[in-house]
Structure formats: structure tokens, C-alpha cells
Amino acid sequence: MSNTRADQPDPAQDSPTVGPPERSAVGLPAVLNSVRLVREQAGVRRGLPAMRAVNQKRGFDCPGCAWPEGDHRHKAEFCENGAKAVAEEATSQVLSPEFFAAHPVAELAERSGYWLGRQGRLAEPLYLAEGATHYEPVSWDRALDIVAGELRGMDSPDEAVFYTSGRTSNEAAFCYQLFARALGTNNLPDCSNMCHESSGSALTETLGVGKGSVSLDDLHQADLIIVAGQNPGTNHPRMLSTLERAKKSGARIITVNPLPEAGMREFRNPQKAAGLLGRGTELTDLFAQIRLGGDLALFSAVNRLLITADQRGEQVLDRSFIDTHTHGFELFAKELLDEPEDEFWPRVERATGLERALIEEFAAMVIAADRVVVCWAMGLTQHKHAVPTIREVVNFLLLRGNVGRPGAGVCPVRGHSNVQGDRTMGIFERPEAAFLDALGAEFGFEPPREHGLDTVNAIRAMAEGRVRVFFAMGGNFVAATPDTLVTEDAMRRVGLTVHVSTKLNRSHVVTGTRALILPTLARSDRDLHEGRPRWVTVEDSMGKVHASHGVLEPLSEQMRSEVDIVLDLAGRVLGQSPVAWSELADYDRVRDRIEGVVPGFTDFNERARRPGGFTLPHAPRDERRFPTATGLANFTVNGAYAPPVPPGRLLLQTLRSHDQYNTTIYDLNDRYRGIHDGRRVVLVHPEDARELGLAEGAYTDIVGEWPDGRERRAPHFRVVHYPTARGCAASYFPETNVLVPLDSTADVSNTPTSKSVLVRFEPDSGAP
């Protein structure tokens, strides 16, 4: 095994070239960039078989996002970012023992996440002993014995935290949560806690199911699609073809976003000759360039307009649906209408940055549409008032009966390819009693009932020295979480940190007293057991479960599947009681046990073998039945909160560049926004920049302001004048996660408030 990239320098990320943002997305440039990345990362021998199999019915599920595939698949059923994700994990580059011998952990900690990720696949277990300076290879037996010994030596099972990334399969997630609960803890935080937890909280309360209610066909049949707080062109590019099809069928699209994004302006479909030749489809009919955190005010204003129009006799509301299927309408309507007009509209305009005339145009488009879908992502979920905002979106849909019928519904767009499946499988720190009852009955033990730690509370527990073992099934916990310096200090207080990973990342170099890295198979790798191939399943963003078959020869015989790692460890810690762990190495048996625990998985093995899989039941969508506390869909009263912004300050959102997937940095470009060869940039409206004295191309420190009085500083960012909403700014994560306090979280969901960070700007203190 060799490494040819370790001697390459870590490129500077603070001196980008900046040009005008692009006005269209995808097309030929996306195709050429995909080909280049696959060739560079994976090479022709590995790259071509991988790309032929990605998202195919007998292939493997792309790890790049959770957007579903239709029944008809193109031969190239992937987007540019999917190609990047597959190329990244299908790389032919392998990390060698010589690499770790040559690079102390302290030196690796000075490298960027971009450099770390480009070094290649992890190929053998690695151990950092207490007081050691370097990772060293160890056997699997030695590695798992270290973990097992630490777990057996705990005073309480709650001294362990089991974190999960959304790349984990259903089978691995089920076994993982089973092990944690058989051990005796519900400490099962996951990446949902930092993204769509707010969606799940709001939807469970209002509709009774914390998932989206639509299918691809619903989007194809919709009259109006609202895309709020989401950038499909970068984060879910295959969604653009769905929007294009809807548009060509007559749908209109409203985009609600502080930033104008190329993908929502014009989509050049690379599957069509016209798209490759530069002719695209204009997607957005109305652009509501909203201020950060103004979505609650916007949807409440539209709801007020709908109700008042109905009161004038225009028959806007679906009174039959409201009377038959909902609860709380009268109180909701009274609270919404009580505020005098001369107070309500000035407040809404301040909160949204939108003129009343545009909001009235928005409402008119809604009234003209029989079937409406609302899609959203992190732009709605990562605010203090995220849960009330999403509840207000549900109010909006309930008013006209746009839940539980074709062409209408809620569409939270998930990021990780199986983050929704993880939750379905029981990865949750606050499990429902019915799930625990079924799990206990299936395996003959009493699962713990006390709620466990979510991501934010796990960091707090680590900081207080209450966590002895931190075990991460995938992900990059340190880089993905808020309050970077606090989180890193907390991680260093843990006795043993363990990461099941495919590539090197920041979390491997910010460690506990001792640390292990366990190499696992990627989604694209072939998974063999006793010479026979095994396959797993995933659940997409619309509740469809389907098989995923790896196709590539693993680069090392020491890479193990996530399921095998969990089963081996569980056997060492708990023996073969209450679970015969070794029998679950046959994934069909895992699926049989899932069938006995999780509703909707009847005949799991048989249905998962069908090309394309099957869709899980969804009571509001399928039956207009709402399993809430009232037995009905709930209207809610959500107040009028909007983030306050004192003079001389801006609200900043953290976001991805185009060459990025979560914390994985593929390259240093953000092509659609006109930024190349750098990441330490802050996007500021030219008028705000002029008022604050921030010249184009100048360098500044970004300083977060929070009531706790503790300074949080992100130094040395290049100012880019950019047409964002007034009063707002934007910068990439994880570089600006340092500005998000651990204690600044969404009400109810406890999700970090990464989309409304109050900041000021100070003179540049120099490169970090």
C-alpha cells in the first residue's frame, strides 16, 4: 500500500478568485467536472463500474443525498455531487502505516479537513494509546478488545455515547441501537439532531408522523411548489429534474431564500441534448428574497391573507377538511387576526425584508393552485424558532386541505442518504414506548426507558467528564457540531473515542485520552460473508425502502462492514445473551428481526428484493388519519418571533459550497456563486458592506455575539460583495461553526441555530 498525496501541500483557502455568480446550474460544466473528479479520485478501472451502478435498481444507493429515484432510471442516474461523493469513497488511494508513522497526530490536527480527506481510504484498525503521539496499526481483535474492556469497565451504561451518521444502512443502524439498548442506554444521538430534528418535532405534533408526506408523483402533479430555505442546485441536484418535470406539467414555483441560487433560476438538464447545449428551464416564478429567520412571519402573513380572503366570501379555505380532520382552527385564526393591520404589516415587512405587495402576490398564487407542496431544508430548521416556523408551514397547508391528497403535502428534504432510515430503525435518544415494547418482546429483554443524550447534550456531558466512551458510526462529529472550540475541548475529556470510518477527517485528530479508528466498507464496496455477497437497505427522503448492493472490490481485506463491527463488539461485551449476535451476520436474519419490531416492514426480505423496493405506510398521506394527541391534524399558535439585529450587526448563516457534502470538502470552489480556490469568505450585501466599511476583497474577523458574553471569533475572512438579502451574511461551515454557541438551540428540537448567527466585524487579526 502506498500514498502519493501526503507530500502535497495543504492549499491556502483564504485567497480565492471571485467573479459574478452564475445564473444557471448543471449542464455541460457539471458533466465535465464529474468526469474529471471520477478520473482523478477513482480512476477508470474503479470509477466506471461505480458510476454505472450508482442509484440503479441492482446497484448501490448514492451516499450523496436522500432524494428518491423514480421507477424509470437513466443509465447515468446521478448528479455532479453524487459523482463527487462516489469518487471520494471509491478512490484507489490507500492510507499506509508509513503515513501514520510519518505524521504525528498533533501535526495532522493542523491540517485542513480538505487535505485530510484527500489522503485515501482507511485500510486497517489504528490505535492511539494514552500519551502516544502517533496512530499505530493494531489487529481487529486488539482493537475491539480495547473497546469492549472500556465498556465493561463503566460504572453505568450511560457513560457511553453511540453517535450515528446518516450513511449507515438500515441493518447496521438496527443492530447498533439494539447493542446500545442491550447494554442499557438510550444515548443514541445522530446527525438528525443537527438538521431535521426541528422538522420531526413539528410534524409529529401537528400531523402525527415526523416524515414528509409526498412522493415524486405528488411533485409531478402539484400546481404550486414552494421551495423554502433550500438550495437544490448544490445540496440535492437530482431534485432539479423533478422540478423541471413539474414545471413542464404546468406547476408554478415559489423560491424563498436569502440568496439567489443558480439552480432555482435555470436548470440545464444534462440528460437532454438541449441542456448540454446550454438551453435550460426557468424554474422560479416568484423569488421571495427573505431575511434570515423571517419565514415564520412570511407564512403567518400568507395565512392571514388566506383567512381574510375567505372571510370576504372568496371560498379560499377547505372548510370540509378543516371541520372533519383538524383541531384548533378557531384559536389559531383568532390569534393570527387579532393584531391590528397597522402593526401587523410593518412587523412582517421588517422580519421578512419583503414588501407587502410581493407577499400578496405569493398568496394569490396559492389561491390559484388546487394542489400545493412545500419543500424545505436547513434554512428553516436551524433557528431558535424553527419548530414554530415549520408548524406554521403545516397551518398553511391545512388551511386548503393540502395534506393527504395527490399533488400536495409536506416535503422536508433530507441530506444523508439514510438519515431517515436510521431514525426508523430506532436511532433516537427519545424512543417511543411502543418501539421499546416491541424491541423488548422480540429479543426478550427490558430496554432502558430513560431518555438519552442528543448531540448537544452529549457534548455537554463530555465537557463535564461524564462520558467514558464515545463511539461514532461514521460522520465527522467534531467538524459537524457547533461551538468548535468547546466541542473539541469536550472530546479531549473522553476516556476512549472510537470512529468507524472510511476516510480520515478532523474527528480522528481531536481525540480522547485514547482513540481508535476502525476501517469500514463504503456504500460502493462489495460486502462478502463466507464468500457470498450481502446487501443492505436504505430509506430515502420520501419513505421508500430499497436495496443497495456494493460492486467494487474493497481496497483492503481488513475493511469490515458496519454490521460485522457492531456484532463482533456486542458479542465481546454482552456474550450471546439476550441476543445471538453472531447469527445476525446473515443480513436476512437482521431484516427478519426488523420486521418483528418496526411497523411497516411486513415481508421485509421479500419486498426489499423487488426492483425499486417499497414505500412505508404514512397515515396522513394514505388515509388522512392523524395519529396525534388529539387524533386530528393540529393547527397551532406560533407567535411572531424574528431574530433581533442591533445596528452595526448582521445575521449570518452557515452553508455549503458547491464542492462540499456536509463536512467533506471535495474541492475549494463554489462555482455557482463565482468563488474559486478558497473557502474563507464571507458574503455580504454591497450596501450593508458599505455601511459597515467592508470593502470588496478586504479581510475581516467575524465575531459572534451571544448573551453568555463569551467571544467566538472566526478570523481572517475575505469579504465578498454578494446579492444576499439585506441585513444578512453567509459563510461556509465547518469553518464558521466556531461562531455557533452550544447553548444556542432551537426551542423543542434542541437543534443548533446555525442559520441565524448574530455577528459583528472587526479588523483582520491574521490567518488562523
Q: Which residue has the cell 447494554?
A: 183
Band of residue 8 on the pLDDT scale cut at 50, 70, 90? confident
pLDDT at 733: 96
CA-CA distance, 52 to 55, in Å (whole number)?
9
DSSP 267: E
Question: Beta strand 224-228 with 252-256: parallel, antiparallel or unpaired?
Answer: parallel
Q: Is the pLDDT of residue 4 over 80?
A: no
Q: How many residues does the chain have?
A: 768
Contact 680, 716 (CB under 8 A): yes
The span from the CA of 360 to the CA of 358, in Å, is 5
* 528-584 pLDDT, tens digit each: 999 999 999 999 999 999 999 999 999 999 999 999 999 999 999 999 989 999 999
Give the residue from 179, 189, 193 showing the smallest Cα distance to 147: 179
The C-alpha atoms of residue 507 and residue 484 are separated, in whole angstroms, by 11
Say what the alpha-carbon torsion angle 718, 723, 727, 730 is, to the nearest 10 degrees: -50
Element (H, E) at 50: helix 43-53
Distance CA 739, CA 732 (A): 11
CA distances (Å), origin 753, targets 260, 291, 749: 22, 15, 11
Evaluate whether 742 touches 482 at the Cβ level (below 8 Å): yes
Counts of helices then strands in the chain (DSSP H, E)? 31, 31
Q: Provide the mean pLDDT of the chain.
A: 94
* Mean pLDDT computed over 8-33: 88
Position 2 confidence tier, pLDDT thresholds 50, 70, 90: very low
On the CB side of 140, CA atoms within 13 Å amount to: 17
Question: What is the Cα–Cα distance from 33 to 25, expressed in whole angstroms?
Answer: 13
DSSP 109-133: TTS-HHHHHTT-B--S-EEE-TT-S
User: What gap in Å lies between CA 353 and CA 729, rounded to an integer?
Assistant: 14
CB 417 within 8 A of CB 188: no
Residue 492 has pLDDT above 60, yes or no: yes
Residue 92 has pLDDT above 50, yes or no: yes
Half-sphere exposure of 205 (CA within 13 A, CB side): 22
Q: 612-646: string of b/e by CB count within 10 Å (b at 16+)?
A: ebbbbebebbeeebbebeeebbbbbebebbbbebe
The amino acid occupying position 2 is S
Report the first-to-last Cα separation within the chain, whole angstroms.
34
**Distance from C-alpha of 666 to C-alpha of 503, rounded to nearest angstrom:** 12
pLDDT tens digits for range 459-478: 999 999 999 999 999 999 99
Q: Left, alpha or beta for 137 (phi > 0: left; psi -120 to 50: alpha)?
A: beta
b (16+ CB within 10 A) / e for 18-44: beebbebbbbebbbebbeebbeebbee
User: Has residue 1 got a pLDDT over 70?
Assistant: no
Give residue 57's pLDDT band: very low, low, confident or very high (50, 70, 90): confident
Q: Calculate what percentage of the chain has a pLDDT beyond 90.
A: 84
- In sequence order, the β-bridge partners of residue 529 are 532
Q: pLDDT at residue 46 above 50?
A: yes
Could you write out the DSSP letters of every residue in 615-652? EPP-HHHHHS---SSSSSEEP-----------TT-EEE
Q: 482 and 752 in contact (C-beta within 8 Å)?
A: yes
Q: Residues 336-393: pLDDT tens digits?
A: 999 999 999 999 999 999 999 999 999 999 999 999 999 999 999 999 999 999 999 9
Grid cell locating 367: 389561491
The cell numbers describing 580, all together, are 445471538
What's the pLDDT at 385? Answer: 98
Query: Residue 734, preceding bond cis, omega within 30 degrees?
Result: yes
Of the ranges 21-35, 155-169, 655-669, which one carries the lowest mean pLDDT score? 21-35
Identify the residue with better confidence: 76 or 477: 477
Q: What is the pLDDT of residues 657-711, one digit of tens each?
A: 999 988 999 999 999 999 999 999 999 999 999 999 999 999 999 999 987 778 8
pLDDT of residue 709: 78
pLDDT score for 3 = 44
* Dihedral angle sign, alpha carbons of residues 573, 577, 581, 587: negative
Tens-digit pLDDT profile for residues 128-162: 999 999 999 999 999 999 999 999 999 999 999 99
- pLDDT of 152 reads 98
CB 433: neighbour CB atoms within 10 A?
Answer: 9
SS3 712: strand
Give the dihedral sign, CA 172/173/179/180: positive
Give 711-741 pLDDT, tens digit per residue. 899 999 999 999 999 999 999 999 999 999 9
> Between 456 and 76, whose confidence is greater?
456
Rounded to the nearest 10 degrees, how much is the dihedral formed by the CA atoms of 365, 202, 352, 364? Answer: 10
Q: Report how far apart, in Å, the C-alpha atoms of 401 and of each of 319, 360, 363, 395 are.
A: 8, 20, 15, 10
Q: pLDDT of 264-292, one tens digit each?
A: 999 998 888 888 888 999 999 999 999 99
pLDDT (mean) for 506-522? 98
In one-letter notation, the amino acid at residue 297 is: A
Residue 37: the pLDDT is: 80
- Cell numbers 443509465 correspond to 75
Regarding predicted confidence, which is higher, 97 or 53?
A: 97
